[in-house]
Amino acid sequence: MPSIRFRLNGAPTEIDADPDGMLLDALRGPLGLTGPHFGCGSGECGACRVLVGDHAVTSCDTPMWSVADKDVTTLEGLGSFERPHPLQRAFIAEQAMQCGYCVAGILMSAAALLRQNPRPTETEVRAALDRNLCRCGSQNRMVRAILRAANEAAAT
Amino acid sequence: MSSAAPTLPFSLAANPRLSSWIKFAGDGQVTVSPGKVEIGQGIVTALAQIAADELDVDIGCVQMVRATTAASPNEGVTSGSLSIQHSGRALRAACAEIRQIFLAAASDRLGVDASALQIEDGTISGPGNVRTSYWELADEVSLDRDATPGSKPKSIAERALAGKSAQRLDIPDKVFAQRRFIHDTALPGLLHGRVLRPENARAKLVGLKEDAARAVHGFGAVVRDGSFAGVVCETEAAAEAALKALRKGATWAEGEALPDESDLAAFLRAQPVESTLIDTRTAANAAKKERTLKRQYVRPYIAHASIAPSCAMAQWSGADRVHVWTHSQGVYLLRNDLALVLKLPLEHITVEHLEGAGCYGHNPADDVALDAALLARAAGCKPVRVQWSRADEMTHGPFGAAMAIEIEADLDAQNEIVEWRHSIWSNGHAARPGRGTKPTLLAGYELEPPFPIAISGNPPQANGGGGDRNSVPLYDFPAWKIESHRLLTMPVRTSALRTLGAQGNVFAIECFLDEVAAERGEDPVAFRLRHLKDERAKAVIRAAAKRAGWKPAPKAGTGHGVGYSRYKNTGAYCAAIAEIEGDEEIRVRKLTLAVDVGEAINPDGVINQIEGGAIQATSWVLKERVRFDRSRITSNSWTEYPILRFSEVPEVEVEVIQRAEIDPVGAGEAAHGPVTASIANAVFDCLGVRVRNLPITRDSLIAAMEQSS
């Protein structure tokens, strides 16, 4: 299998992978990450979203060849307990989940939105998350958390 | 009335050993070990609040232990909005007693009367600056003793944590990508399994060519027993590839036909049934009946559609002992059924809980646990992880049962209700594992010889009933008769889904009432209040109405509707008011709810549950219906089984009526019925059409308009 190089959460990474294999399988398999979650395998639910460059993509149907030489960011790379991303702080502050399985992908969609549009309106937030599903009904809390994070980022 | 002798709370009576609930670890930690499990509802946090409060320890030093059959109290299943009632009350009583036991021990050691001692952050101190702690005393105080009835928990005023919103203990891990979910849990040497399932759930596997699967790089084993077949491989990708190869080599004999999805009521009402008279009330002086109003309401099959596919791990040691990791709602109950299928004594099986995605009832969590145990038998002593596909999750798990509900009311000359009759036709709403002499796990039906397929039953009325849940009116009608007809055939597999029959019954009752109120020209809120005696019921309706500004002035293209129920007739009170926009389609703009759960242990947790329930119910009402043709379930993806999206989610406002003096009940299922009815009633207010077949889609609106014209 050919070797594919990309940057994963800022670190140069090289793995032997089928170019037509899916990014999620590489991330959760040989690369050992658990931030992106498997939900459907066909790009419909968004639990597996990661950033490729500044865009949130569903890693379950993103082929490996397409991320060669790109920057891939997963939830692990968004922030940490010690240095949380404003979105992570805001999701805790708003208690913005029930089960939290979908949150890994929703945080990445939200991160992409804030990179492209640092002060989104509520309608823009909802539109940006429309391809992420949440089954527990925590959407409104998540929207509030994203707006809170945007406000905080703007204030600092 | 003489005061009864004190008794232990339900779960503590079943598991009286104090040390099975609470342990003090040497490092200043308290381990709290409930039998209930986290299913995304935040229960673990509420239970930690209760324990920390009664013990007077910092909540930060409370370690919540995941349920396991190896150590935890057996609290049955985490369902029915009963965890606060069962686990919460047991912990409160156990901790209150433990506190007294330690105070007595501290009194002995310090030579100070126990009444002069106080506890703060686990430190026990008294006059003269004497002090000790739970941890210093832990070696000499044995909690290996049974709880005694009559322990005195703190008064409301003394509680520092319970009743106040607390941050969920699990949320930081989930935003920082820590491994909390079973899906993310790594075990050394973990192998991966996949199970081959047919399109028609009852099809028989009559031929299987294994060569192509065996040729996959990383292949480990094929397991075949009757119609059960699966693969074990070194990696998940290999398991997927081998499964794909196995599927190509499989030949199936078609199974039982499915009903006609376009006329569920006709199907449900034509089946052999077991009929139960649920309740009757007769009037002493009945007013004269002038006419009878009769309506039929239909709820379709509803999928759990959890955001994660079900997953489990299993590891054998030797040929007769197995350890299973599961996100089941009931580790002990699952163990019962595993023992039946695997033909092992209970003590040879350990079932341990790990968190899964949000769980709304009996989903395939238990099924996949048996799958893992069966596949792991072919893996020597290595652990095997099995994860279902999205399609299998949407088609092979149990569904919430479809319901046809007919209500007839005799009305007098003033359109007042003289007599009320409510009949339900539905499959049973419960086929959970571990409760019978035969297993109810999917693979059990596939093995050779197969176990007989369990036709779903209904929990007894004392436990809230099943198809009949919330069918007995909460309103003070003079006379009624409630009947439940449980199907004795089950072409579509059904079991417990959030609220069981309550969503359908409350939808029917509250929509029917709305119709009667409209016939009378009476405001639907006033009509309900006039027929209720329970002040807590009236309080939630009034609170929701006030908050929603009931009733807003009519405006073209918008509508408002109300719905109310008390879950299970004994649980949480909830009233909902919906504001919708409607034309060819319905958009729910806002839901305003008021809820009374008695003592709200974690008020923000209650709001979160009610909000989530309201949004999920909106999704059920506007979008959801399991689809099938005559041979297979066709709604096998999010495209075929759409749920509510972010841009479609209504604004939700929740008011919690805090009643700290009243024993708490659960909140997870209170909103579905009232919200469903409030939306349907708002559709009438907006468009003048009664939609009695869920979901309320463009198609069902058109059908209802055609029917009414």
Inter-chain residue contact B649 with A99, CB threshold 8 Å:
no
Mean of the per-residue pLDDT values for chain A? 97
In terms of domains, do A34 and A99 share one? no
Question: Quick check: is B524 in a domain?
Answer: yes
pLDDT at residue A39 is higher than 50: yes
| Residue B497 structural domain | 403-429+466-708
Q: Taking CB atoms and an 8 Å cut-off, how many pairs form between chains A and B?
A: 159
Contacts of B42 in chain A (CB under 8 A): 98
Average pLDDT for residues B339-354, to the nearest whole number? 98
Q: Who contacts B546 (Cβ-Cβ below 8 Å, separation ≥6)?
A: none
Token reading at B89: 């009350």
What Cα–Cα distance (Å) separates residue B435 from each residue in A33, B247, B627?
A: 39, 34, 30
In terms of domains, do A69 and A89 share one? no
Residue B139's identity, in one-letter code, is: D
Mean of the per-residue pLDDT values for chain B? 96
Inter-chain residue contact B611 with A107, CB threshold 8 Å:
no
- Alpha-carbon gap, residue B265 to B132, rounded angstroms: 68
Kindly report, residue by residue over B377-427, the tens digit of the pLDDT: 999 999 999 999 999 999 999 999 999 999 999 999 999 999 999 999 999
Final residue of a domain: which of A77, A99, A133?
Answer: A77
Instruction: Please tell me the distance in Å from A76's CA to the nearest CA on chain B.
Output: 6
Token reading at B357: 């995605």
CATH number at residue A66: 3.10.20.30
pLDDT at residue A28 is higher than 70: yes
Contacts of A101 in chain B (CB under 8 A): 40, 181, 183, 307-308, 356-358
**Cis-peptide, bond into residue B551, ω within 30° of zero:** yes
In terms of domains, do B314 and B375 share one? yes
Across B262-291, b (16+ Cβ under 10 Å) vs e yields eebbebbbebebeebebbeeeeeeebeeee
Final residue of a domain: which of A59, A77, A95?
Answer: A77
Q: Who contacts B535 (Cβ-Cβ below 8 Å, separation ≥6)?
A: none
Instruction: Please tell me the distance in Å from A150's CA to the nearest CA on chain B.
Output: 17
Question: Is A98 an interface residue toward B (CB < 8 Å)?
Answer: yes
Instruction: Please tell me the distance in Å from B371's CA to the nearest CA on chain A.
Output: 19
In terms of domains, do A68 and A86 share one? no
Contacts of A51 in chain B (CB under 8 A): none
Residues 35-54 of A with CB under 8 A from B: 35, 37-42, 44-45, 47
Question: Is A120 an interface residue toward B (CB < 8 Å)?
Answer: no
Question: Quick check: is B1 in a domain?
Answer: no
In terms of domains, do B387 and B477 share one? no
Residue B112 has a CB neighbour count (10 Å cut-off) of 17
- Alpha-carbon gap, residue A115 to B152, rounded angstroms: 55
The number of distinct structural domains making up chain B is 3
Pairing of strands A71-73, A3-8: parallel
- Of A44, A80, A101, which to mutate for an interface test with B (greatest number of B Cβ within 10 Å)? A101
Quick one: closest CA in A to B668, which residue? A136
Question: Quick check: is B267 in a domain?
Answer: no
| Residue A137 structural domain | 79-155
In terms of domains, do B391 and B416 share one? no
Inter-chain residue contact B638 with A76, CB threshold 8 Å:
no
In terms of domains, do B569 and B692 share one? yes
Kindly report, residue by residue over B122-166, the tens digit of the pLDDT: 999 999 999 999 999 999 999 999 999 999 999 999 999 988 988
Quick one: closest CA in B to A17, which residue? B237
Instruction: Please tell me the distance in Å from B495's CA to the nearest CA on chain A.
Output: 19
Question: Quick check: is B282 in a domain?
Answer: no
In terms of domains, do A149 and A85 share one? yes
The number of distinct structural domains making up chain A is 2
Final residue of a domain: which of B174, B205, B238?
Answer: B174
In terms of domains, do A10 and A71 share one? yes
Kindly report, residue by residue over B512-562, the tens digit of the pLDDT: 999 999 999 999 999 999 999 999 999 999 999 999 999 889 999 999 999
Question: Quick check: is B447 in a domain?
Answer: no
In terms of domains, do B580 and B501 share one? yes
In terms of domains, do A88 and A149 share one? yes
CATH number at residue A133: 1.10.150.120
**Predicted confidence band of residue B2 (pLDDT cuts 50, 70, 90):** very low
In terms of domains, do B319 and B419 share one? no
In terms of domains, do A106 and A61 share one? no
Final residue of a domain: which of A77, A110, A137?
Answer: A77
Residue B247 has a CB neighbour count (10 Å cut-off) of 16
Inter-chain residue contact B181 with A37, CB threshold 8 Å:
yes
Kindly report, residue by residue over B400-414, the tens digit of the pLDDT: 999 999 999 999 999
In terms of domains, do A91 and A127 share one? yes
In terms of domains, do B156 and B49 share one? yes
- Of A60, A64, A134, A135, which to mutate for an interface test with B (greatest number of B Cβ within 10 Å)? A135
Q: Who contacts B319 (Cβ-Cβ below 8 Å, separation ≥6)?
A: none
Evaluate the CA torsion angle B607, B541, B159, B15 in order and state its sign. negative
Quick one: closest CA in B to A136, which residue? B612
In terms of domains, do A102 and A65 share one? no
Average pLDDT for residues B105-123, to the nearest whole number? 96
In terms of domains, do B675 and B641 share one? yes
In terms of domains, do A100 and A144 share one? yes
In terms of domains, do B349 and B390 share one? yes
In terms of domains, do B25 and B168 share one? yes
CATH number at residue B602: 3.30.365.10
Inter-chain residue contact A137 with B614, CB threshold 8 Å:
yes
Q: How far is CA B401 from the centre of its chain?
A: 14
In terms of domains, do B167 and B198 share one? no
B530 burial via Cβ count (<10 Å: 0-12, 13-18, 19+): middle
Concatenated DSSP letters for B391-460? HHHHHTS-BBPPEEEEEEEEE-TT--EEEEEEEEEE--SB--TTSSSS---GGGGTSSSPPPPPPPB---
Inter-chain residue contact A75 with B305, CB threshold 8 Å:
no
Quick one: closest CA in B to A46, which residue? B307
Inter-chain residue contact A40 with B604, CB threshold 8 Å:
no
In terms of domains, do A39 and A98 share one? no
Helix (H) or strand (E) run with residue B29 in it: strand B29-32
- Alpha-carbon gap, residue B456 to B466, rounded angstroms: 10
Question: Quick check: is B450 in a domain?
Answer: no
- Alpha-carbon gap, residue B35 to B87, rounded angstroms: 7
Instruction: Please tell me the distance in Å from B183's CA to the nearest CA on chain A.
Output: 8
In terms of domains, do A101 and A68 share one? no
Concatenated DSSP letters for B137-183? HTTT----SB--TT--PPPGGG-SSTTS----TTHHHHHTT-S-BGG
